[in-house]
């Protein structure tokens, strides 16, 4: 299948030209089995111009020092943990790191409550196992085992969603760099260049928290939310339009002002501070990520399209806004009312939104 027909191409396919140019220009020392030097990887992710004038597009816009910490971590034999609330680009960064370091971002394990230990270690082809007994042919290696054999980067998404006992299967792999296979009285020893990039949602802390033994194998880099309101508004605008088109909603795309209001509410509650920096606020228990702003805008749009006049107004937004903010019916409700009374009410242009929301709490 050619790349054009795929819904989404892997990073190493989509940016093959950039990776190729970087490799050609790379004169710096490379760690064993790395496709590029750490300097070239930083350029690949943060963007820049090569000596021959080739432009490398930025993959991550934000604090470049964080990316440097991530790359430097992988040059040591410590694993990398990317933390952050949803929508901060953890998966995106881990994919590009794997693509740039190993030329392969496909060695991926998705962590869920149902992830079993086999997904991290190895499984069996049961037909073959029953027919021939335990053997190399019957063994189904996990992406991690493959990465160990090849000396590549394995990715574990949403590590904290996995049950704690499954997570702990990583301890031996990360500390001893060995994966024992007792059934075959054998083991896989990691080739140089092997490492693990994991991502975790830091609002999930406490659910399946990493054991301290496992945590000790990781260096943690926290990816922050968009730094400025303008950055966040443009992300929301772009995504809402995309999703609106995909769902074929007949409603008008929301006015920039409407997005700005919702983004402002989210940023203020999330940051515990009003935009003018004058009033401190309590933060509710909900995550209030950029992703949630997008979902609030979308359900508002759907409401306006199917039950309203096709134009997004405050009433359409109020229900999903309230739902997104109040996750804990007691504490969050007080915080939200507090916000409405002390902040929203004072803003002249927000009268409609204040009224619409006050009716619901």
**One residue of 50, 146, 281, 360 binding another protein per CB under 8 A:** 281
Pseudo-torsion of CA 259, 265, 268, 274, nearest 10°? 100
Report if residue 272 touches another protein, rule: CB under 8 A: yes
In the list 25, 68, 124, 295, the residue contacting another protein (rule: CB under 8 A) is 68
- Residue 42 and residue 39: Cα distance in Å, rounded? 5
Residues near 280 by beta carbon (within 8 Å), at least 6 away in sequence: 272, 273
The SS3 of residue 109 is: strand
By CB under 8 A, residue 39 contacts another protein: yes
Q: Decide: is 57 part of the binding site for another protein (CB under 8 A).
A: no
Q: Does 341 engage in binding with another protein (CB under 8 A)?
A: yes
CB atoms within 10 A of CB 165: 10
Q: Does 176 bind another protein (CB under 8 A)?
A: no
Distance CA 299, CA 312 (A): 10
**Residue number with CB closer to another protein (41 or 169):** 41
Among 25, 220, 234, 311, contact with another protein (rule: CB under 8 A): 220
Instruction: Show Cβ contacts of residue 17 under 8 Å, excluding neighbours closer than 6 positions.
Output: none
Transcribe 195-206 into DSSP letters.
Answer: EEEEEEEGGGTT
Check residue 280 for interaction with another protein (CB under 8 A).
Answer: yes
List 16, 46, 50, 72, residue binding another protein (CB under 8 A):
72
Min CB(182)–another protein separation in Å: 28
Measured distance CA(154)–CA(119) in Å, rounded: 12
Q: Which stretch binds another protein (CB under 8 A): 1-9, 113-121, 243-251, 274-282?
A: 274-282
Identify the residue among 11, 56, 83, 109 touching another protein (CB under 8 A).
83
- The string of DSSP letters for 40-54 reads HHHHHHH-EE-TTSP
Q: Which residues bind another protein (CB under 8 A)?
A: 38-39, 42, 65, 68-69, 71-73, 75-76, 78, 81, 83, 202, 212, 215-216, 219-222, 272, 279-282, 330, 334, 337-338, 341-342
């Amino acid at each position: 299948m050619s790349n054009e027909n795929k819904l989404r191409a892997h990073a190493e396919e989509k940016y093959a030209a950039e990776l190729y140019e970087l490799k050609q220009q790379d004169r710096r020392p490379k760690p064993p089995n790395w496709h590029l030097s750490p300097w070239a990887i930083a350029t690949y992710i943060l963007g820049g111009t090569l000596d021959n004038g080739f432009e490398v597009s930025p993959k991550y816009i934000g604090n470049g020092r964080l990316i440097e910490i991530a790359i430097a971590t992988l040059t040591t034999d410590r694993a990398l943990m990317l933390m952050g609330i949803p929508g901060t680009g953890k998966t995106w960064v881990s994919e590009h790191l794997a693509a740039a370091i190993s030329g392969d971002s496909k060695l991926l394990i998705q962590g869920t409550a149902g992830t079993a230990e086999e997904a991290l270690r190895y499984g069996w082809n049961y037909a073959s196992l029953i027919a021939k007994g335990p053997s190399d042919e019957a063994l189904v290696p996990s992406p991690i085992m493959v990465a160990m054999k090849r000396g590549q980067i394995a990715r574990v998404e949403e590590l904290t969603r996995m049950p704690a006992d499954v997570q702990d299967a990583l301890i031996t792999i990360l500390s001893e760099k060995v994966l024992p296979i007792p059934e075959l009285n054998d083991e896989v020893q990691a080739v140089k260049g092997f490492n693990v990039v994991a991502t975790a949602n830091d609002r999930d802390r406490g659910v399946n928290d990493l054991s301290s033994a496992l945590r000790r194998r990781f260096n943690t880099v926290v990816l922050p939310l968009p730094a400025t309101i303008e950055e966040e508004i443009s992300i929301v605008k772009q995504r809402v339009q995309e999703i609106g088109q995909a769902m074929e909603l007949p409603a008008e795309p929301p006015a920039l002002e409407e997005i700005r209001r919702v983004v402002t509410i989210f940023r203020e509650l999330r940051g515990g501070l009003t935009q003018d920096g004058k009033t401190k606020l309590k933060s509710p228990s909900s995550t209030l990520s950029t992703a949630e702003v997008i979902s609030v805008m979308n359900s508002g749009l759907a409401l306006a399209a199917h039950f309203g006049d096709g134009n997004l107004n405050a009433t359409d937004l109020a229900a999903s806004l309230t739902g997104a903010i109040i996750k804990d019916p007691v504490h969050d409700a007080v915080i939200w009312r507090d916000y409405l009374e002390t902040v929203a009410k004072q803003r002249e242009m927000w009268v409609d939104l204040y009224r619409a929301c006050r009716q619901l709490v």
